[in-house]
Structure 1
Amino acid sequence: MFEMMKSGGYLMLPLLVASVLALAIILERAWTLRRRRVSPPQLLSQVWKQLQAGDMNADQLRLLQAGSPLGSLLAAGLINARHGRELTKESIEDAATPVVHEMERYLTLLGTLAMISPLLGLLGTVIGIIDAFLVVTAGGISDPTALAGGISKALVTTAGGIFVAIPAMIMHRYYLRHIQSLMVSMEQQAVKLVDMLHGDREVDVADSQRRGAGA
């Protein structure tokens, strides 16, 4: 493997760095975007029980807000509940913007790596072909080893760029879709809390939590 990478020339170094970065981002986002961490399945029922018991104070709101992305949306709704149903929903929508931004952290870089890796491989291909033609121009095909080196560089860098790009692109698209799914589920639960606070919905917290966990 090392010899193959070495045969690809100096452009294999940025491809190696890109592969390490892409893998690190994929693993970090897999841990951070776990559904149970982002949207704890029993959080809405716990919040509702605290409200009914009168235990929801400023300290509990701060803990709720810092505990999870769903908690941040619920806390925003609770803080502004006294201002009416519509303003409460608007506050939840405003709180959702930084939540989405945080959940999409590093995904721009992952998408960039998916785009530039094939270009780096293509650049290596061009350089390898140029080297091969220079060998032919300088001495014909009397030195097949040098000619093969240029061709090898062209093939290895192309393969390296595609090898990095494919999983990076797949995971980039997967995480974007996963975040959309999480946000839909969280906003639904936050709106249910608002409706329950203003008496517009029958309280069926357990059923709503099951649907949120299965989304």
Structure 2
Amino acid sequence: MFEIIKSGGLLMLPIILCSVIALAIIVERYWTLRVSKVRPKDQLPQVWMWIKNHELDSDKIKELRQSSLFGYVLAAGLQSSRHGREAMKDSIQEAGDHAAHEMEKFLSTLGTIAAISPLLGLLGTVLGMVDVFTDIMIQGTGNTGILAGGISKALITTAAGLTVAIPAVIFHRALVRRVDELTVLMEQDSAKLVEAIHSEGAAKKK
């Protein structure tokens, strides 16, 4: 393996670095974007129970804000709930945008790696082919072994770049999809809370 990497030339180093960074991002994002961590199932019922039992205070809201990204969104909405339905929706929207930004962290880097890895591989191949043609100029075309070996080495970087890029593209798309799904779920649950609070408030006024 080391000999293959060595024969690929200097451009194997940035390709290997890209692979390490991509792997770290994939593992970190999958760990961070667990549904149980971003949007715990019991969080919305718990908030509604606090409201029903008149236990919702600044300490509870602070605890909620720090518990998860979904809790952060709910806390923003609850703080603005006394100002009316639209103010609560606006606060939830703003907090939701922040939560989405947090969930998308590092995904642009992963997308960049997916885009540049094959280009690095192609550049390595081009440079390798330059060396091959230099050898042809010096030694002629008689020594086919040297030419075949040179071409083989030149193609190693392309293979390495594609090996990094293909999984990076797959996982980038999967993670973007997961962020979209979590965002939709949080929006739906937040809308339920808005309707529940203000529908109950309207019923009490009657």
How do residues 31-180 of structure 1 correspond to structure 2 at under 5 angstroms? 31-180=31-180
| TM-fit CA distance, 1:145 | 5.0
Contact kept in structure 2, 1:124 and 1:153, CA below 8 Å = no
Distance 2:8 2:179 in 1: 37
Distance 2:198 2:15 in 1: 56
Aligned-residue identity in percent: 51
Query: 2:199 is paired with a residue of what secondary structure?
Result: coil
Distance 1:64 1:47 in 2: 8
Deviations 1:53-92 (A, max 9, x none): 1221111111101111110111111100011111111110
Residue matched to 2:204: none
Distance 2:98 2:52 in 1: 29
Q: 1:151 to 1:200 in 2, by over 3 A?
A: farther
| TM-fit CA distance, 1:120 | 0.3
- Aligned partner letter, 2:106: Y
| TM-fit CA distance, 1:146 | 3.8
- Aligned partner letter, 1:78: L
- Aligned partner letter, 1:5: I
Unpaired segments ≥5 residues, structure 2: 202-206
Contact kept in structure 2, 1:8 and 1:154, CA below 8 Å = yes
TM-score by length of 2: 0.93
Distance 1:46 1:25 in 2: 32
Deviations 1:108-159 (A, max 9, x none): 1000000000000000110111111111110113544543342122211000
Distance 1:61 1:72 in 2: 9
- Farther off after superposition, 192-201 or 99-108: 192-201
Distance 2:18 2:185 in 1: 33
Residue matched to 1:25: 25
Aligned residues: 201
Query: 1:199 is paired with a residue of what secondary structure?
Result: helix
Distance 1:170 1:7 in 2: 28
| TM-fit CA distance, 1:200 | 6.4
Unpaired segments ≥5 residues, structure 1: 202-215
CA RMSD of aligned residues (A): 1.4
Residue matched to 1:6: 6
Distance 1:113 1:200 in 2: 50
- Aligned partner letter, 1:148: A
Contact kept in structure 2, 1:100 and 1:179, CA below 8 Å = yes
Distance 1:192 1:200 in 2: 12
Deviations 1:141-189 (A, max 9, x none): 3544543342122211000000000011111111111111101100110
How do residues 188-207 of structure 1 correspond to structure 2 at under 5 angstroms? 188-199=188-199
Distance 1:181 1:169 in 2: 18
**After TM superposition, what 4+ stretches of structure 1 lie above 2 angstroms from structure 2?**
141-150
